[in-house]
Structure formats: structure tokens, C-alpha cells
Chains A and B, each alone.
Chain A
Amino acid sequence: MIGLVDGNNFFVSCERVFNRHLVGRPVAVLSNNDGCCVARSNEFKALGIPMGTPYFQLKSREATGELSFCSSNYELYGDMSRRIISILRDEAVDVEPYSIDEAFIYPPTTAAENYPAYGRRLRAKILRWVGIPCGVGFAPTKTLAKIANHIGKKQPDGVFLMPEDPTEVLASLPVDEVWGVGRRLPPKLRAERILTAKHLRDAPDETIRSVGGVTLLRTAMELRGIPCCEDKDYDATPDSVSCSRSFGTPATTLDALEESVASFAAQAAAKLRRNGLLAAGGNIYAQIFASGGGGNFVARTVTFPTPTDATNEMLRAFRPEVAALFTPGLRYRKTGVVFFGLEKPGAPRQTDLFDTTAPTERSRLYKAVDALNARYGKGMVFSAAEGVGLRTWHMKRTKLSKRSTTRWDELMTVR
């Protein structure tokens, strides 16, 4: 049996733990640069305001006090997520975090007697210890557990165990809501009269394969109760690691461009190191600001002398290319870095005859950098190329709550 636990309206729920004024009110959390709604409270959903609604369209309703908004406080959400995962690790045999707000769990054998009771206990513990309400779903496969979880969230106790024969549940679920089906396939599926999850489960293998290949067939098998999602499937080596963001205000200088690229490269490089990966090279790109949105992209591709995860080596390679991207007089909306050619160290490759840096030396350097940043907060140690002055290109987060669990100087206050 597999369980899926996920935080209800996770970002909003995190905000509410530390700001009780937000409880019972329509609240939304905004995307990077306070762009649009990315998480909504139930009260907010009840007003019929869809996900992704731009913030500026709702500002007047905020002014009247009808709606409340928060900027994305990723530091806080990340810490709350970590707390939930650690509780799950205490309570389950194995845990596979899937995203910041959901994780698959493998319940202990003792839970088999009564999965819903086990789920309720988990839910109550997370609610009390962390303060986040969760939905819990149990089923024999991950795809079915996803569906069970969706139903669980709508139950008064937040928990749902998929019945032994899930036919009825699957018959009432549109096929595009099945995990892994995506947005591209439903038109093709409709042509085959596959409209519900039940249709997909019961369709002939050849039909499924012709529409969505072996991936969709795997999904159908999962709906039949046969586990096909390999463990940590989605955790396998990613194809690329990237980091990008829009400027709070358009950038006009080479310095701003260089600093932002350097900083995103540093963040993405830390991501590589966390995943134990090296990158063969990176694409750096910038979007030129155009009034009314959009704007052309300019990009350069850089290949490193040898695959690396060392920020300083990447920056050395990027620097001349950023200069080549920049045209004086233009304003830039966004920059980003995408690393490609990812591999595990020790993968067979041709080494550079002239690479004189001992790999152990640089890995020690960045182990130390990552450890310091983990201990003293992000951005404690950084490359000078990331800029030390006022970072005007930083994300705009005007409604940022306090980072109450990761910063000593931003603790919640009590009177």
C-alpha cells in the first residue's frame, strides 16, 4: 500500500501558522515578483477567483480589505516542508518527497489493519506539530494514491482509502485529472472515447500505446492496481537544472546583468551539488524588456572545459558571454541559466589534459560554502561576481512575511 500526504493550500497554510489574522479569510500567495496567485485559501477559491489571476487585477479588492495577499516566502515553506517530511519519516517505513507540499509514504505493516485510522493519526500529528492541515490518500499504486488523496482532501477527516474495487471512483474522474496524463493527450484520448479514468484503465493496451506510448500504458497499469511507477522514478537524474527570475525593475547595465547571472548560476550550481551532479555546460539567456509584455530572448551557450559543479569555474566561463549578450541602451526583463549535460561524477568522460585544478580541492571548497550557507542563511558566502552592492534586480516581494523559522532576526513576536 502507498500513501500520498499533501498539505492543503500549502503556502497559505504556512502563512496562517504565524499570522492568525489570515485564518478564515480569503488569502492568496503570489508568485515571484508578486505576479499572480499561486496558492489560494478555500475562502479565496469560494469567491471564484482562479489560480494564476494577476495580482494587479485584484489590488482594488485588497484595498477594501476583502482579499489578503502574501509574497512567496520560500524560506518558510521549505522549512515547514522539512518538518512534515521528518514526521513522516518517523511514522512510515519509507518516504519519497515528491514536491514541496507532497510526499509518498510506505506505511508500516501495523497500519494495514486500519489505513484510515493510521492516516487520521498522521494528519492529526502534522496538524498539531507543524500546524499544517493535510490530505491523505491510500491505494496500491502511486497513480491511484494521487486520486485517493484528492478525494481525501474533500472528506471531513481528510483521509481516503481507495476501495478494493475502484471502478466507481474512476468512472467519475475525468481522464485529464489522472496523474501523468498531462494536457497534450486528452484531445487524442477523446478521439478514442477515453473520457474518464475508468475508460483509460479498461482501454485495450494497443490503443493506449498508440495514443501515449509506453508512459501512458504505465499509467493505465497503475490504474489497474499494478505498480509501474518505479521507486523514485521522478527523482532520477534530471535533464537540466535551471534558475531564472524576472528583475523587480528592468535592468539597464551590464553590471546588473552580470550579477544576476552570477547569482542564479551560484544557486543552480548549489542545486547541482545537492543532487551530486556535474554539468557539461550552460545556456545563459536574457529577455529584452518590451512594453506590453513579452520581449525577445538573447542567449549564449557555454561549454565548460570539463563537467563541473564549481561556481567559480562556471562564472569564469560565463563572464565573457554575458558581456556578449548585453547591448547598451536596451532594458532587460529577465535573465536565467540552464545547465545541461548533467552527469554523476565518475561517469565515463574524456578529461581535459590541461585541467590543473584538483577536483578534491574544489569540492572541499564548495562543501564548505554550502555548509556555511546552510548554517548562516542563504547568501552568507557568495562569489564577489554576484555583486555586493544593492541588488536592484532582486525579486520583488513587497508582501513578504517573516522568515520565522530560518532567521534569528525575523522570529515571531509574542506579547
Chain B
Amino acid sequence: MRTKAKVSGSVVAGFPSPAEQYLEPPLDLNELLVKRPAATYFVRVQGDSMIGAGISDGDLLVVDRSLRPADGDVIIASVDGDFTVKTYRHDKDGVRLEPANPAYQVIRLRPGQELDYFGKVTACIHRFAGKR
């Protein structure tokens, strides 16, 4: 008859596993991409207005609402009620939203118009072989 020995943290007999003291949790994409779950939203890209920035049709964007936009950030904002992803520009010429595709127009805020900011894009997830 054979008996099974249960191996736990402190082993009574035999050699301790040399790997044991180095045990760590496995890598977790959430930990890498979602710093603040309460402020993080996922959105889906439609169209190619940001193709030059590496953002393609069907890509998944990770958006953090807690971050304030700075010049050069890729952001989500609503323009006339519709959501758009663009590069935020804020300089002496005022605020504008720039596409990364020459086929699209730069969006300039009218004087007195406030930017309807949703959040800052912190990552773009592009999947191969099928969008979903």
C-alpha cells in the first residue's frame, strides 16, 4: 500500500523546493492595463481616423477617466453628442482635436465652447485574425 504525502510550506522530511521562496502570482494584464478600475472604461474603435497613431477599426481602447488631458494625449471626447478618439492639442492656438489620418479634418472648438472630455486613452488592444 502506498501513502500519499501532502507537501506544504514547511516540509518535515526531504529537501525544500528551491523555487518556493521565489513564488509570485502570475502576470495579469488587468494589473498592467487597468490601474484604476473604478475610472476605467473599454470602448470600441469604429473607422480609421486614427490609423496613423496605430489605432485601427475594431480595436479596443482602454480609457482612464481619472486622468486630465495634456497636449499630445490621445483622448475620447464627445463632439456634438458623438464620441470620437483624437489627439488632444492645447497650445497658444487654443484647443483642437487632431485625427491621425489626412483624410479627416481637425476639430476646432468654437470660442467659448468647452471640451466634452470623456477620458484619456491609455492603451490600444489590437487583435489579429478576427476583431473580437
Interface residues of A (CB under 8 A from B): 20-21, 23, 83-84, 86-87, 128-131, 404-405, 408-409, 411-415
Q: Contacts A20-B82, A20-B83 given: A413-B65 contact, CB under 8 Å?
A: no
Q: Is the CB of A415 within 8 A of B47?
A: yes
Q: Select A413's contact among B39, B83, B118, beta carbons within 8 Å.
A: B83
Q: Is the CB of B38 within 8 A of A413?
A: no
Smallest CB–CB gap between A100 and chain B, Å? 16
Question: Interface SS of chain B: helix, strand, loop or mixed?
Answer: strand
Q: List 17 A-B contacts (CB under 8 A).
A: A20-B81, A23-B81, A83-B37, A87-B38, A129-B65, A130-B39, A408-B42, A408-B132, A412-B43, A412-B44, A413-B45, A414-B46, A414-B83, A414-B84, A415-B46, A415-B49, A415-B84
Q: Which residue of A lies closest to B76 (CB)?
A: A414
- Residues on the A chain within 8 Å of B47, using CB: 415
CA distance A408 to B78 in the complex (A): 21
Q: Is the CB of B36 within 8 A of A129?
A: yes
Question: Which of B44, B49, B116, B132 has the most chain A CB within a 10 Å cutoff?
Answer: B44
B85 at the interface (CB under 8 A from A): yes
Q: Select B38's contact among A21, A83, A404, A409, beta carbons within 8 Å.
A: A83
Smallest CB–CB gap between A126 and chain B, Å? 9
Q: Contacts A128-B65, A412-B43, A415-B84 given: A86-B38 contact, CB under 8 Å?
A: yes
Q: Contacts A20-B82, A129-B39, A130-B39 given: A414-B65 contact, CB under 8 Å?
A: no
- Residues on the B chain within 8 Å of A409, using CB: 132
Sorted from nearest, which 7 A-B pairs have the closest CB atoms?
Answer: A129-B39, A20-B78, A21-B81, A83-B38, A411-B44, A414-B83, A414-B85
Q: Is the CB of A415 within 8 A of B82?
A: yes
Q: Select A411's contact among B37, B43, B82, beta carbons within 8 Å.
A: B43
- Residues on the B chain within 8 Å of A131, using CB: 65, 118
B105 at the interface (CB under 8 A from A): no
Q: Contacts A128-B66, A409-B132 given: A404-B81 contact, CB under 8 Å?
A: no
Smallest CB–CB gap between B115 and chain A, Å? 12
Q: Is the CB of A413 within 8 A of B46?
A: yes
Smallest CB–CB gap between A229 and chain B, Å? 27
Q: Is the CB of A413 within 8 A of B116?
A: no
Cβ proximity bits B41-73 to A, threshold 8 Å, 1 near / 0 not: 111111101000000000011000110000000
CA distance A409 to B69 in the complex (A): 28
Q: Which residue of B lies closest to A131 (CB)?
A: B65
- Residues on the B chain within 8 Å of A404, using CB: 41, 43
- Residues on the A chain within 8 Å of B85, using CB: 414-415
CA distance A409 to B82 in the complex (A): 19
CA distance A131 to B116 in the complex (A): 11
Smallest CB–CB gap between B98 and chain A, Å? 14
CA distance A247 to B81 in the complex (A): 35
Q: Is the CB of B60 within 8 A of A411?
A: yes
Q: Select B83's contact among A23, A129, A412, beta carbons within 8 Å.
A: A412
CA distance A58 to B120 in the complex (A): 39
Q: Is the CB of B38 within 8 A of A414?
A: no
Q: Which residue of B lies closest to A84 (CB)?
A: B38
Q: Is the CB of A413 within 8 A of B43?
A: yes
Q: Contacts A128-B66, A129-B36, A131-B65 given: A411-B42 contact, CB under 8 Å?
A: yes
- Residues on the A chain within 8 Å of B46, using CB: 413-415
Q: Is the CB of A413 within 8 A of B44?
A: yes
